Amino acid sequence: MFFYLLLLLQGFYKTSPALMGATAAVEMIDTREGADITLECRFSPQIASQDPTLFWQRTSTKDGKQQMENVFVQDRSLVPNYRLDYRPHMGRYDLLISNVTYDRDNGEFVCKVLATGLGQVLHSQTMQVTVLIPPGQPIISPASPTATEGKQMDLICSTTGGSPDPMIHWFKNDLSYSLESIPSLGRSRTAPTSGNHSFIPQKKDDGAVFRCVVSSRAMPEGEQYEANVTLSVNYFPRVSVSAGKENILRVERDSPAVLKCNVDAKPAVSNVRWTRGGRFVATSFTHTIPKVGLSDSGSYVCIADNGLGRPGEAELTLDVLYPPLVAVEARREAEEGESIRVHCNVSANPAPLSVEWIRPDLPEFRQSGSILSLHRITADSAGTYMCRAVNLVNSNGKSYERHGNATLVLRVRHKPGAAKITPEKPIATEGNSIILTCEANPSGWPAPQFRWWKDNSEAAIATGARFAINSAHLNTEGTYHCQANNEMGHGTSASVQLQVHQAPRFIAKVPSQKTKRSGDKDFEISCDAQGKPKPSVRWLKDGDEILPGLMYDIITDESENTVGVGTVKSVLSFTGKSRNGHSEIVPSDRGQYTCIFYNSVKQTESTMQLRVEHQPLKMHQYDKVAHDLGENAKVTCIVKAFPRPDFEWSNKNGKRLPTAIGQHYEVNDTILSEDMFKSVLVINNINEDDYSEYTCTARNAMGYLDTHIRLQRKGPPEKPNSLIAVASTANSVTLQWEPGFNGGQSDTKYFVSYRKVGAPDQISECDNYAARSDPKEGREFDCQKNSTCNVTSLDPHYTYIFKAKAINFKGSSDFSEEVSATTQLDGFPVPQRVTYDPSTGQVAVNLASSCLQLLAHVETRDEHGEWSTFKKVSVGGMSILEFRVPTPSPSPATTTITEAISPASLESETYVRVRLCLQSSGENVCGSFVKAEIGPMYINSAAAFVTPTMVATVVSIVVFVLLVAVIIIAKKCKRTQKKVKKDHELENSSSRPSIVTQQPPPPYYPSGMENKALEHSLDLGLDDPAKTVYGTTPQNGYVYHNAPNGHMSGGVNMPYIDNSYSNSNNGGSVNSQDSLWQAKNGGGEIQQSQSRQYTHYDGHSYGGMDDYGHYPPVQDDYLNQRNNYMATDAYGNVLKPKKRVDHLDSPYHDVSGLPDPYGEHHQVEGDENKTQHLGLSFDESLESGYSTPNSRSRRVIREIIV
């Protein structure tokens, strides 16, 4: 019975789809393997009264097939592990599943209540039990996908083992939205679930990353699996050409054209195909046409194929640019009175901007357009006409004008005009050729014939436009005539006077050589020559011209014949008041004498070598030589003699010295030149007895010479001699001297001491501190071993006194005699502005401030355009100069001048000009002329400018003076209150003072000075010994003043580095080097060398040194270097004690803050650590305008001068 009922239920269930469709919605239940779950089936208890049939059915998938089976019927179990809560009377029929497994329990469970016998479904519940199992890792197929552009691509992402079937989504790159895909559900944990993303790949997909994301509710919340692949897309070639807009490459004709083909393809292409008009051209990516022509213009196509079946291509148009090609007929012949029209054909790319006709010989002729139109032509219309076209070619990003032209020769039938012979003043040289050329204006057409004749003879001597004389001679001179003629008639003749010149020719030459004896008398040489024009004569000795007077006399006799040929006889007489007996030959007469005759044609010369026999003459410079014991001494004797002398050496007793090679005495004789000879006595390993006087005797047929030379020990050098200044610039003076005996020391050096003694050409009213003299000691400049020395770092236009001395290891010499020199001006002042009112004749000259004594040189121009001096006015110290000049009268050659003269009408006619000159030099030292600006408005504007400027200046000065007075009074009151405190601090302070206790105030610079080369405020450092550096020459290494630690204290020297106080637009004086010092120092601390050399005295860390950047930096020479002056330099100065002088008698008595240049050297050893005082603030240090010279505090006091 039970089995029958079961079969009935199964059959009913299978055959009652209508009833199945009437069941309630499926309830989803998730569980995991091993869990216990209860499937609740609840119905109304009243149904139980009908004795219904209750059963549970299960539908699961096995081997891909669905199987349905009964689990319970009524309360009877059909499968294990299932239990039942069977209480129908309560409407409860629950299924309890223990130890859930996927294979058994994953599926659909249905609870049904059927009416017995009828099969009517009284109640039904469907439950989908899902046993949750996480899916496996996703796998993408293909793993390394390669696609072809335009062909469908499938990317499949699959995963196995999940329950329920997982969700699969596709993403591309970093996109947040998912891609379309077709899912394929496995419906079993043994069957894979996949998602297929199908798409048509494009070029942009190459390299794209496709990401597969797998998610399931069986996985922990927020967890998902991912896999990705990178897609490689083979895409068709994309071809582009390198050209401008519209793929047009514009290249100028005859320039190289580079056609570049750029291909983007995958796989890449190895070459391309260039075609033109369907014809193959090249296969390279870059196709170069070295020199393009017009035939190369056109369309070029670049084709690339990478085998994917779709080649790419791009088209490039080559546009060949070329300048205008102009074509006109070459020549045209016309009759006088006729009218003609000539067309000019022009081809150009781009099209020409202009086409015009011009005549090169007539600049004023010009016709625009391509048609030349001439009406009623005359003989003057004949000539060359040029059609010129211009276009604008853009090449390499720049625009260039290109020109093209062609010429037309217009011939007008007419008779020739007046003839003209060139050259107009012909001069021929005898024996040479000359060509005379004849032309007619107008030339005449048909082409004329030319006839030549000479003087008054009508017989033709030549025909043709050119008359050549192959070899001119004096008889060729005369008047030559030329006339042009053609079939239309004869022209006017022309004539020229031909002159024939003759080069100087010797009639008598000087002898080639001559030998005379010293003392011979009345010697002379002569030479004669003739030439046309009459030649002049010059005599040379050894290449230098001989001037008659002291040593020679020149007598010249001249004559000239009828044809202009001059004869000159010149006698050089060896007579003169500087000769012994007025006419005796002396040894210095030896040399090469040249007689030169010259005229406008050429010069010719005759040379004689004169030898003078004379006794030996001493030529060596020094009569002493110095060596130390044990050295090999060389005693040199040099003489000048002819004939050659013999040498003999003897000692002080007159005894001849025994000489031999390898002995104590050796002698080497040398011929230096034809009349110069040298003998060297070598004394080997000299001893004490060798220090003596030696006699060199030179003897020849003319006599002998005894020269005494002393051998002595090495010692100090002798002073330089004959000091002179040989050149100067604005900032330097070049000196030269004869070195004295060096004491036997080859390393002897020279130093130049110099000091400023004033500025020339200064006006007395100008208070220029920079023009004041330097102190007596002066400054030093290291000249190394040179006897010519360029002393630099001088101020422009100042007078200096120089003296030189020598120094070596053994000591130093005395100073040479002094010599003065003045530096040049560094830029000459010029008027700032010159204005001229033609209506009134008023002239105003604006002048910059200057301390020079200047002279204004005023010039006016006459009606012929010639400049002449109008007046000279002294303008020293003036700011404006006004005067009147006569108003010019109108002339035909100039623009008509009416009563109301406008500046515009006279812009091209400058009438007045002014320049400035040094008053002491006349007109030898002057600036450039400044031309006057024309018009009354300039005068008015200038006058309007002066008044408010002067008022503002006066008001500013008054306010400034009042302000300074208030500050000075306040500071004096403050110092009075602090006097007791200051004295106490001076007595108790025991520490060494700071060189500068605080930053010094900026220096006072007067206003109103525009000429910085003359402004004394820029040279205040010269008045302050604390800023005066003697011998400071950065290039020589001898006279730097150095800080003991190698650098200045931080910040001390920086106050004025950033802000220049000089009254100049460019931040410095004209001759200063402020900017150079600032560039080198970089605004930071000024680093200095640590060596201590050649220092006379020092200003000790003056904080304001950067205001004087054009002077060398100053540093401290004190601390512990007092006893080490000679440690680093063998040539260090020996600082001898000097007598102490009263401070007020010093040249520095008007400058405060000076150290004692002598006091330190007078202190005994115990005073070296003497107590120093440190209690003064900067304000307190201003108590006095002076500082005691022997004070060791070395404070810098800056005075404000009103």
In DSSP notation, 701-760 reads TTEEEEEEEEEE---PPPPPEEEEEEEE-SS-EEEEEE----TT-TT-EEEEEEEEEE-T
Q: Class for domain 2-131, per CATH?
A: mainly beta
Residue 106 φ/ψ region, left for φ over 0, alpha for ψ in the -120 to 50 degree band, beta for the rest:
beta
589, 574 Cβ separation under 8 angstroms: yes
- pLDDT of 1051 > 60? The answer is no
Alpha carbons within 13 angstroms on the beta-carbon side of residue 739 total 25
| Cα separations in angstroms, 1145 against 954, 1138, 1140, 1150, 1195 | 38, 15, 11, 10, 21
Average pLDDT over every residue of 1135-1160: 38
Supply the DSSP string of 625-678, one letter for each residue: EE--TTS-EEEEEEEEEES--EEEEE-TTSPBPP--TTSSEEEEEEE-SSSEEE
Looking at residue 990, its pLDDT comes to 38
Cα(7)–Cα(728) distance, integer angstroms: 140
pLDDT band, residue 395 (cuts 50/70/90): confident
pLDDT band, residue 918 (cuts 50/70/90): confident
- pLDDT of 228 > 90? The answer is yes
pLDDT band, residue 1149 (cuts 50/70/90): very low
Quote the mean pLDDT of the chain. Answer: 78
Looking at residue 1197, its pLDDT comes to 40
**Of 6-10, 309-313, 1045-1049, where does mean pLDDT reach its minimum?**
1045-1049
Average pLDDT over every residue of 1002-1011: 38
pTM for the model stands at: 0.45
Looking at residue 1035, its pLDDT comes to 37
- One-letter identity of residue 908: S
Fold held by 425-500: Immunoglobulin-like (2.60.40)
Q: Which residue has tokens 């107590």?
A: 1171
The model's pLDDT over 426-450, given as tens digits with 9 standing for 90+, comes to 999 989 999 999 999 888 888 899 9
* The two structure tokens encoding residue 819: 């010599």
- pLDDT of 903 > 80? The answer is no
The model's pLDDT over 641-677, given as tens digits with 9 standing for 90+, comes to 999 999 999 998 889 998 888 899 999 999 999 899 9
The β-bridge relationship of strands 257-264 and 238-241 is antiparallel
Average pLDDT over every residue of 684-691: 92
The β-bridge relationship of strands 603-618 and 513-517 is parallel
Cα(359)–Cα(1000) distance, integer angstroms: 77
The model's pLDDT over 485-514, given as tens digits with 9 standing for 90+, comes to 998 899 999 999 999 999 999 999 999 999
pLDDT band, residue 1006 (cuts 50/70/90): very low
> For a pLDDT cut of 90, what percent of the chain falls above it?
46
714, with CB counted inside 10 A (0-12, 13-18, 19+), is middle
The model's pLDDT over 762-789, given as tens digits with 9 standing for 90+, comes to 777 665 555 556 666 678 899 999 999 9
Average pLDDT over every residue of 519-545: 94
- pLDDT of 910 > 60? The answer is yes
**Of 351-365, 639-653, 696-710, 1165-1179, where does mean pLDDT reach its minimum?**
1165-1179
Fold held by 619-712: Immunoglobulin-like (2.60.40)
721-822 has CATH 2.60.40.10 classification: yes
Average pLDDT over every residue of 1177-1202: 38
Cα(485)–Cα(921) distance, integer angstroms: 65
19, 121 Cβ separation under 8 angstroms: yes
Average pLDDT over every residue of 613-617: 93
pLDDT band, residue 240 (cuts 50/70/90): very high
509-613 has CATH 3.30.479.30 classification: no
pLDDT band, residue 862 (cuts 50/70/90): confident
Chain centroid to Cα 546, Å, comes to 51
- pLDDT of 705 > 90? The answer is yes
pLDDT band, residue 1068 (cuts 50/70/90): very low
Average pLDDT over every residue of 293-309: 92
- Greater pLDDT, 181 or 893: 181
CATH annotation of 328-413: 2.60.40.10
The model's pLDDT over 962-1002, given as tens digits with 9 standing for 90+, comes to 888 888 888 777 665 554 444 434 334 333 333 333 344 44
Fold held by 139-234: Immunoglobulin-like (2.60.40)
Looking at residue 538, its pLDDT comes to 95
Q: Which residue has tokens 């996703």?
A: 138
CATH annotation of 833-950: 2.60.40
327, 406 Cβ separation under 8 angstroms: yes
Every domain of the chain with CATH number 2.60.40.10 lies at 2-131, 139-234, 238-321, 328-413, 425-500, 509-613, 619-712, 721-822
238-321 has CATH 2.60.40.10 classification: yes
**Of 374-383, 544-553, 587-596, 1058-1067, where does mean pLDDT reach its minimum?**
1058-1067
Looking at residue 1001, its pLDDT comes to 41
Cα(167)–Cα(215) distance, integer angstroms: 5
- pLDDT of 312 > 60? The answer is yes
567, 535 Cβ separation under 8 angstroms: no
Looking at residue 972, its pLDDT comes to 75
Cα(295)–Cα(986) distance, integer angstroms: 102
Looking at residue 964, its pLDDT comes to 87
